Structures are given as C-alpha cells and as structure tokens.
Structure 1
Amino acid sequence: MKQTSTDSIELPSSGQRGPAEHDRRLQILHVANEQFRQFGYRKTTVADLSKAIGITTAYIYRFFDSKQAIGEAIVAMVLGEMDTELRNLTAEQTTATRKMRAFTQQALLLSHALFMNESKLFELVVVAVEEQWCTAAGHQSALGEMIRAIVEAGRSSGEFERKTPLDDVALAIQEALIPYTHPPAMERRSLAELERGVTAVTDMILRSLAP
C-alpha cells in the first residue's frame, strides 16, 4: 500500500501493462467498471469489453494481461477511494478515542454502502477475497495501518495503555472488526444489526485500551 502525491491511498494490483495514465487504459477501466456493475465480473468477458469499447481484445491485452488484471485494477480503484475517505473522516476527530469511534463506525458505513448496495460490485470484491488478489490484501493492510496510527496517537496522548505490544493490539482490533468490514460476513445481517454490533465492539475495544 502506498500513497500518491495527492495523498490518496493507492492499492496494489497485478498484471498491469503499459503507461498507467494512458487515455485508452482509463477508457478500458471505465467501461469495465460499468460492465462489471451491470452484468457481474464472472459473466463479463474481455471480448465483451472489446465490443463495448470498439477495439480488439489484443489491444486490451496491451494494458492488462488478463480479465483478472482488469478486475484487480477496478477493485484497487474503488477500495482505494473508500480507504482514503475513511482515513480523512477519521483524521477530522480531535482525540484518539473519537478517532477510534469514527473509524469503526465509518468503516462499517462505507463498506456497507459499497458492498451491500452494489450487488455486482459485491461479487467482484468477493472474488478478490476468495482468490486472494493483492488488492484485497492491500485493503486490509490499509485498514491495519489506520488502526495502528490511532492506537499510537492514543498512547502518545495518554488515552490508551502502553504495555501490550502495539502489533498485537492493532491485529486484535482488526480481527474484531472483520464482521463489519468483510463482505461475506456483512451480507448475513441488516445494517441496524451491524451498527448495534460495531458500537458494542467499539465500546469493548476502548475499555481494553484504557490505561
């Protein structure tokens, strides 16, 4: 996971070819995003994309080595945007305790809006998780870095305890939030249930962090 010059979160994606800022590459991603959202990732082929754009499949392969590479680029784009928004919303809070509450709540709300309200996009993200695409791992890494930064801020201000190893604390919090950030876990419960759950989990996290 890295940050661009505009301070946005950019997630990794494999199988990318050619210049990243090429107009045709951006057009392919735009059309692929529309096709995946309308018809689903599994049902869309590279031939479908070439027909929709009006170019040959060989030309698409100048920028991506497979349909998976296109899918990874789409996932990297949408999850990177979500991670950037989550980080910015969390940064607006004035204390580490408030940052933690904002992080857990917004992680749920942003994830739910993206995954649950976009059924075809949900399918694409599930494929990314099931097939262990590097974009899915990059998203989890971004969440982990945000959690770690909040805990470090709380330790510096005296809000959080300092005895437990930082890596253990960050990992435990991230694991506790899986039901509220992981698409397959979220789809089994309503948003109201998820909100009640994440509030209770956040309360427990903050009690465990108290000095």
Structure 2
Amino acid sequence: MNEVAENTVDLARQETVTRILDSAERLFRHYGYAKTNVADIARDLGMSPANIYRFFASKVEIHQAICGRMLGAVYQMACDVMRGPGSAEERLRRYVHQQHQLTVDTLLDQQKVHEMVIVAMERDWHVIEKHIDRIHDLMAEVIAEGIAAGEFAEQDPAVAARCFGAATVTLCHPQMVAQCLSKENRASTEELVEFLIAALKRN
C-alpha cells in the first residue's frame, strides 16, 4: 500500500472514530452514561455493534476517549490563559476563575456530563492523572515567570504549582464544587485565590 493510500485509510478511520465519539457523547449527554450502551451508539450511526468494536473494545474505552477529548478542551483553555498576556499573578487569578466557572457551567449545569466525569474520576483513569500533571506544568511555568519577574518569592515552582493546584481543587473538582456551592462557611473563589497569591509572594 502506497503512502497516499495509507493516508486515505488513516483519514477514513479517524473520521469513523470521530463519528462514533460524537454520537456516543450526544447520547451520553441526553440519556446518561449508565443508560447508553454500544448497541444504542451503533443504532444512532446506522451501523452494527460489531463495527463499533472494530474501533473500540468496549463502552468504557469509548467513554475514556470522550473524557480525554473533554479534558483536552479544558487544557486548551488553561493554556490560552496561562500562556496569554498579563502578569503571572493576573494569569493565575484569571485561570482559577475561568476553571471554576467552566466547572459550574459545563459539569454541573449539564448533569449528564457531570455523570461522565464522575465515572472517569472514580475509575482513576490515566487520562485524569495526565491532565492534572499538564495543568501543574502550566502553573509551574507561570510561577517560575513570576519569580523571575520579582512578583513571587524564591521557591520551587513545581512544588508551588502542586500546592496551588491542591488548594484550588475545591473550585474545579465537580463533586467538591457541587457540595460547596450552597455552603456559606466555605471560602469564596476570590478569597481563596487572593490567599494563594499572597502565599506565593511571601518570603
């Protein structure tokens, strides 16, 4: 098979994978993850379940791919903010606020999406861990830039990023956000961010 033919096959395969994921995500959003099976996805696409299994070994694998795609969009948002304009302090503050709003708008208001993310977190898939590592790497970059610019005190950027991420988990973890939204005895997003920025500045 020549290179052109191989590229055509690869493109056709990717298009089919995308169609399967788009259909599965639409059905998961509408009916919920637990109530959707591979046969439903196949029916929606007008193909046999056997054809789905040529590309994905199970519904779990389809779900994993969808979560990877969703987290990719979240990472892109984080990348745009933390590698965008502004001081290190401004970028960290803007990221936390946007991440929290995204969690509220997308993962909580759309309950079926929330269900998909919770299932992924409970299974502790590697895509979740990889996403957290990538976010921490972005934070470390910003903190290092802040140290170099004299905004933040001298410290290990990687350790500071992990601490910053851990301290803000209540603002981006779907289950924690859901539990804390109605609580009056929790720090607000603004209070928590300002506390952490101040901590980064301390000598």
CA contact (8 A) 1:186 1:194 kept: no
Indicate whether 1:95 and 2:93 are aligned: no
The offset of 1:45, in angstroms, is 0.6
* AA at the equivalent of 1:123: E
CA change 1:93–1:207 in 2 (3 A) is same
> Where does residue 40 of structure 1 map in the other structure?
32
TM-score (normalizing by structure 1): 0.84
Larger Rg: 2
Partners of 1:84 and 1:169 lie apart in 2 by 22
Partners of 2:176 and 2:186 lie apart in 1 by 14
* More deviation, 134-143/25-34: 134-143
Partners of 2:186 and 2:94 lie apart in 1 by 12
CA contact (8 A) 1:161 1:209 kept: yes
Give the number of aligned pairs.
193
Indicate whether 1:74 and 2:73 are aligned: no
CA change 1:88–1:60 in 2 (3 A) is same
Q: Which runs of 5+ in 1 are unaligned?
A: 1-17
C-alpha RMSD of the superposition = 2.2
CA contact (8 A) 1:112 1:191 kept: no
The offset of 1:157, in angstroms, is 0.6
CA contact (8 A) 2:107 2:174 kept: yes
Q: Secondary structure at the match of 1:188?
A: helix
Identical aligned residues as a percent: 25
CA change 1:113–1:142 in 2 (3 A) is farther
Q: Which runs of 5+ in 2 are unaligned?
A: 1-8
Answer 1 or 2: which has greater helix percent: 2
* AA at the equivalent of 1:172: C
> Where does residue 64 of structure 1 map in the other structure?
56
> Where does residue 113 of structure 1 map in the other structure?
105
CA change 1:34–1:187 in 2 (3 A) is same
Higher relative CO (Cα under 8 Å, sequence separation at least 6) belongs to: 1
User: For 2:41, which of 34, 49, 53 is the aligned residue?
Assistant: 49
